[in-house]
């Protein structure tokens, strides 16, 4: 029998130019991959791009200078920059205008009506905004020496009216007031204006005097 002759063969890689060329090629690939990985890692370490919140134009507030206004049923101090408009057809209806703030307080005067019903109507007019409101806070007040009693409702959120209030002498006179802005409700952009007018409502109540106090 003939013996099997084992041939020693050397592999040859013509495409890469031999074994040494393969090592060089692999080294280049490894360096390239490491560079890509380092670049990717560096980019991930950068601070994320966070969009800035929307800003709003600053609206200058009116000067807090007051004047005494005598209406048909009561006397009160109002800002000089505001004005009281009395309905010529019905003096029980009036409006405080804030031209600079594009805001209005609508006032209705009642005489010889059931005070309990009027107070409940005012409460319901405040809580009808609960669909849009984040919160509704009722704050009672009393100035017994001037027979001025009532409630202020502060309505938080994007409600149409951010403040509603009622004033009574607890006998037979009643005033209902509601604040509105001449724009789409936006609690964020209107926040400083709402705060300003709420403070003015408080001053309105503190200086409120009945023209003909009930005995």
Write out pLDDT tens, residues 121-170: 999 999 999 999 999 999 999 999 999 999 999 999 999 999 999 999 99
**Are residues 155 and 82 part of one domain?**
yes
Report the residue count for the chain. 215
Give dist(CA 89, CA 136) in Å, integer: 34
Total number of domains in the chain: 2
**Are residues 154 and 75 part of one domain?**
yes
Residue 141 lies in a domain: yes
**Are residues 154 and 105 part of one domain?**
yes
**Are residues 121 and 194 part of one domain?**
yes
**Are residues 79 and 148 part of one domain?**
yes
Sign of the Cα torsion 115, 119, 120, 122 reads: positive
Residue 57 lies in a domain: no
**Are residues 187 and 112 part of one domain?**
yes
**Are residues 139 and 35 part of one domain?**
no
Give dist(CA 169, CA 108) in Å, integer: 15
**Are residues 175 and 84 part of one domain?**
yes
**Are residues 152 and 126 part of one domain?**
yes
Give dist(CA 204, CA 76) in Å, integer: 6
pLDDT digits over 35-82, tens only? 655 555 545 444 455 554 454 456 788 899 999 999 899 999 999 999
pLDDT digits over 70-119, tens only? 989 999 999 999 999 999 999 999 999 999 999 999 999 999 999 999 99
Residue 138 lies in a domain: yes
Q: Please provide the DSSP assignment of 19-76 as one string.
A: HHHHHHHHHHHHHHHHHHHHHHHHHHHSPP-PPPPPP----PPPP--EEEEE-SSEEE
Range of the domain at 19: 7-50
As given in the structure block, the two tokens for residue 71 are: 């209406």
**Are residues 94 and 170 part of one domain?**
yes
């Amino acid at each position: 029998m003939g013996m099997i002759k084992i041939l020693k063969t050397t592999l040859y890689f013509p495409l890469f130019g031999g074994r040494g060329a393969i090592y060089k090629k692999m080294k280049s690939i490894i360096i390239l991959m490491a560079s890509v990985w380092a670049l990717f890692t560096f980019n991930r370490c950068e601070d994320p791009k966070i969009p800035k919140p929307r800003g709003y134009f600053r609206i200058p507030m009116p000067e807090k200078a007051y004047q005494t206004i005598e209406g048909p049923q009561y006397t009160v101090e109002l800002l000089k920059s505001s004005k009281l408009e009395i309905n010529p057809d019905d003096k029980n209806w009036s409006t405080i205008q804030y031209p600079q703030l594009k805001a209005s307080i609508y006032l209705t005067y009642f005489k010889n009506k059931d005070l309990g019903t009027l107070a409940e109507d005012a409460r319901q007019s405040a809580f009808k905004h609960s669909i849009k409101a984040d919160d509704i806070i009722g704050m009672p007040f009393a100035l017994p020496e001037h027979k001025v009693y009532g409630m202020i409702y502060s309505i938080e959120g994007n409600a149409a009216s951010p403040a509603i209030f009622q004033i009574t002498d607890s006998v037979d006179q009643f005033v209902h007031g509601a604040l509105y802005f001449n724009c789409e409700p936006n609690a964020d952009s209107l926040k400083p204006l709402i705060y300003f007018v709420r403070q003015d409502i408080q001053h309105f109540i503190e200086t409120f005097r009945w023209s003909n106090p009930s005995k």
